[in-house]
Structures are given as C-alpha cells and as structure tokens.
Amino acid sequence: MKSLQFLKFTLAILFSVFSSAQAQKIDYSLVDKEDVRDMSFEIIGKLNGNILVYKNYRSKHGISVYDNDMQQKNRFALTFLPERVINVDFIAYNDFAYMIYQHQKRNTIFCSMVKINAEGKIMNDPVDIDTTQVSGNSENKVYSLISSDDKKKIMLFKIKKNSERDYFFTTLLFDQQLNLQKKSNFGLLSVEKDVVFTDFVLDNEGDFAFGKCTKIGSRDYINKVDLLYKKSFSDSILIQKIPLNDLTLDELKIKFDNYNKKVILASFFYKQRRGNIEGMYTMIWDKTQKTPIKTKQYFFGDSLKQEAKSDNNSIKTAFNDQFIRQVIPTQNGGFAVFTESFYSNSRTNQWNRFDYLYGPGLMLSPFYSPFYYSPMSRLYPYGMYYDPFNRYGPQNNMTRYVSENIVTFFFDENGNIKWNNAIRKSQFDDNTDAYLGYQLFNTGSEIRFLFNQKEKRELLLNSASVDADGKVKRQPTLKNLNRDYDFMPKFGKQISLRQIIMPCMYKNYICFAKIEY
C-alpha cells in the first residue's frame, strides 16, 4: 500500500474511517433547555473516555460531561469564576485539561488557571498566572495563549502598543506541568506605522515566531514582511527580512515544521495593486541555519481557476474570494495548503476582502488579541470559545454569507508544486455563517472534508476526500443522518482515532453529535 507521506498533520490525530469492516455511527446528545442558540461553547476533548464541553451563556459558565454514547453524565457549574470573565482557553490532555481564563477586578486584568479532571471536576483552587494593570474598564483580552503541536510547551503572551510604531512584548513559556520556564520582555520598534501581525506560533522546542507585515503606499496590500523569531530561552528576537521578489502579498500564514526544524510561510500574491490574485507565494526558512531556504511563486493556470471560481467570479477573478485556511507540514519536508471561497452580499454594505481581513474592529488597541486578524480566526476560531451566531456583533438583516469551493495544494520540500485540485461545494445562508465551511481530518490514507450541502431544501452532511496523488473522491451523503439536526462542521473537533464531535442545532437549541467510523 502506498504510504501517505504527503500529509501528516502536526495538529491532527490519525484515525481510520470508512473501512468496509466498520459501519458509520452517529450519536446525538439530548437537548438541554439551557443550551440556547446564543450559547458560546468549546469542545474540550475526550478525557479518559468522557467527552467534555465547556458552555457559557451570559454570566453562567459550566462543563457538561458526556459518555461515549453522548448521554450527559453531569453538568458542573463553574461558580468560582468571577463576574467579569473576558476570555477562556483550554488545553486538553488524555486525563486532564487546563482552563486558563482572563478576568478583570478594578484596574487589573488577571490571567488565572484551574485544572479539570476527566469527570469535569476542578482539581485545584484558581491560581493567578500573571496580572496586568489597565486604565479604566477593559473588555478586550490582554493575553493570548498558544501551545506547541505536542502540547509540551505552552506560551502566554501580551503586547502593549506604546505608540503607532512602538510595541512591547511579554512572553511566558511553560512546560506541560505549567511550570514557568522563561519569562522574556522585548521591544519592537517599527519604522512604518501601518503594521499587521500574522498568527503567532510555538514549536515543540518552545521557539516563538510570527510575521510583521507592512502595507506601504496602500491600505490594502502587503509590500514588506519581516519574520521575527525567538529561541525558547533567549531574551532577544531575530528579525529576518523576507524576500518578496517585487510581489504584493495578501494575508500571510505561518506554520512551524517540527519534523524538519523549519518555518513555512504562504500567501496569495498580486502582480499589481488593485489587481487580481494571480498565484501563491511560499517561503521555507531554516531555523537551524537561520536563513531562507527557498522562495517560490506559483502562478495559477486557467484550468485551476476554472475549478476554483465561485458563482461570484470570472476566470480572471477566480481566487479573489479564496482564503488560506490551513498550512500543514509533512514529515518528508513538503507541505499542504488548503484554501476556501468565502464572501457575503448585502444591500447596504459592499463586500470588501480587505475590510474582512483588516477592517474596523480589527485594528490594534493598547492591548490586543493577535488572533483577530485573519479570516481563519473569524471562521475557524481557536484558543477561544465559540459563539457561532454572535461572533461579529450586530448584523445587517439583509446579509447573505456564501462559502464555496475548496482548493488543495501540495508542495515538495523545495516549495515546488506537485499537484493541486478543487473540491466543489456551494453553501449559503442569511445572517449567519454558522453552518458554512468544512471540517478536515486525516484518515491515514487520504484527507477527508466534511461540509453541509443543501439537498431538497435540507442541509445534509457531505464528505469528499483527496488521496496521496491529489485525486478527489466524493462519498455518498453520510448514513443515519437525523434530518432534524443541522450540523456546524467548522466548529467540530476530532477527539480520538475514529471519532469527531460536531455541534448541531435542534429546534433552536445547540446540542452535540459524535460521528464514529
């Protein structure tokens, strides 16, 4: 059997599905009248056979514990939480999880921690990890939490903006037991004032990296990129200028390759400002040698554009509504990139890609959350609990959200394209994008995508896969679907080798389904 070397996820756990010897099974949790449509939630994971889900509605916080058949065993109210909880994050292991939350008391923001066991019970009194003084009342989260792919390194960090060009970073690096290994402070002075940061990433050795992007001469386009890299026990940062070869970039994605000790950068590019997306720029940076290895520009051909384009676009503008969703390294040094079409239509507001990426409400404040910069954060949030129907604040009641085709790319260890293909889908909904998008997981022999499609006015969960050679295969509609439940695939989470938990809506209540193969 041909081994699948092209995609070993750094974040995903391998599991086998759709084998002829095993039937698909779906278990639904019973409706809890407290789990209303406006509830926020986070699927924590599977701990010693129990499935834990964090739930929040207004000032009520709790953890529901489900068994393997999705029967609720317990629901614990988190009464220890203070009134002003700003943000909650979870890091789950096999038999426990950390709950790290931010809250405010007077002019102090606290970042605190409790440990939760597999039964959903609190194992310790809250411990304050760090504090920050703020002026007045602040509803914004100060701290951001990231972890390495193996979860053995955890970083808490904050950024203070002293002026338009002056930033001050504080990073706290912890081990798996949440022992503080290194606290660092460093400043970043930018020559340009119009700066956007990429996602922030942490590798298995505790090294920290992110990109600083500058939009010179234009509000919308990236013309200069610096890679900022910090060794785990260093107090200083290395600033590496990234060669763009006169290209103008779109949003830049960054990912550590833990297998090969590299950093991968990927972005769409334009040949000119106010032009169309013409291709994909990639760069591989060697963290051992601290030098760029390869920079590549891959131009999209007309045949790929034809496959990728949505109903909203022509061949020429085919990728103008596409966004990079995932960059995934492989063990042999290559990497995969998955993109998806997304746009909205409104009678009062013109759709603008750049307002979506860097628009109002996403600019820097004196303390800010870096994860609010990318469409992946807005459609596929991580490191925060989900509020599928109220993530954007007040919405225009005439807005239609549209999510269409997925495009898959695979690059070798030198950044050369090996293959690409498109998975065609058509999704739309009014006033919410909660049911749009997809969930991705690795089956061990192929990459599988789960997404909703409307069939006879009903949303049904569909599946498509890409194999090691880039061949796309559509599977039949999933069996045993109860049509009273509408799935929200992009908020799902893989919890074991053969199981995925997916939230769904049942008569205006949120519940959860376990899909097992």
Per-residue pLDDT at 320 exceeds 50: yes
**Any idea which of 18-32, 352-366, 385-399, 432-446 has the lowest mean pLDDT?**
352-366
Mean pLDDT of 265-284: 93
Per-residue pLDDT at 175 exceeds 90: yes
Residue 229 is predicted with a pLDDT of 97
- Grade residue 230 by pLDDT with cuts at 50, 70 and 90: very high
Identify the helix (H) or strand (E) that includes residue 376: helix 375-379
Residue 396 or 142, more confident: 142
Share of the chain above pLDDT 90, in %: 67
Residue 251 or 360, more confident: 251
Give the separation between CA 4 and CA 430, rounded to whole angstroms.
39
Q: List, edge to edge, every strand of the sheet that includes 238-241.
A: 195-202, 208-214, 224-230, 238-241
Mean pLDDT of 1-15: 37
Phi-psi group of 480: left, alpha or beta (phi > 0 → left; psi -120 to 50 → alpha; rest → beta):
left
Q: Which residues contact 448 (CB under 8 A, 6 or more apart)?
A: 17, 440, 441, 442, 463, 464, 465
**Do the Cβ atoms of 262 and 288 come closer than 8 Å?**
no
Mean pLDDT of 334-357: 82
Q: How do residues 277-318 score in pLDDT, each as one tens digit?
A: 999 999 999 999 998 888 999 999 999 999 999 888 899 999
Per-residue pLDDT at 68 exceeds 50: yes
Cβ atoms within 10 Å of 157's Cβ, excluding its own: 21
pTM: 0.88
The separation between CA 424 and the C-alpha centre of its own chain, rounded to angstroms, equals 22
Residue 137 is predicted with a pLDDT of 64
Share of the chain above pLDDT 70, in %: 84
Phi, psi of 308 (to 5 degrees): -85, -25
Residue 359 is predicted with a pLDDT of 52
**Any idea which of 2-16, 125-139, 151-165, 436-450 has the lowest mean pLDDT?**
2-16
Q: How do residues 484-493 score in pLDDT, each as one tens digit?
A: 999 999 999 9
Phi, psi of 306 (to 5 degrees): -65, -40
Per-residue pLDDT at 393 exceeds 60: no
Per-residue pLDDT at 115 exceeds 60: yes
Give the separation between CA 30 and CA 42, rounded to whole angstroms.
18
Residue 358 is predicted with a pLDDT of 59
Hey, which of 265-274, 333-342, 448-457 has the most confident mean pLDDT? 333-342
- Grade residue 191 by pLDDT with cuts at 50, 70 and 90: confident
Residue 162 is predicted with a pLDDT of 86
Mean pLDDT of 465-491: 88
Q: How do residues 197-228 score in pLDDT, each as one tens digit?
A: 999 999 999 999 999 998 866 556 888 999 99
SS3 content of the chain, % helix, strand, coil (to 5): 5, 50, 45
7 DSSP assignment:
-
Per-residue pLDDT at 13 exceeds 60: no
- Grade residue 52 by pLDDT with cuts at 50, 70 and 90: very high
- Grade residue 11 by pLDDT with cuts at 50, 70 and 90: very low
CA distances from 236 to 199, 228, 232 (A): 19, 10, 10
- Grade residue 126 by pLDDT with cuts at 50, 70 and 90: very high
Per-residue pLDDT at 14 exceeds 70: no
Phi-psi group of 162: left, alpha or beta (phi > 0 → left; psi -120 to 50 → alpha; rest → beta):
alpha
Q: How do residues 81-113 score in pLDDT, each as one tens digit?
A: 998 899 999 999 999 999 999 999 988 999 999
Residue 414 is predicted with a pLDDT of 92
Per-residue pLDDT at 235 exceeds 90: yes
Residue 91 or 356, more confident: 91
Give the separation between CA 98 and CA 106, rounded to whole angstroms.
25
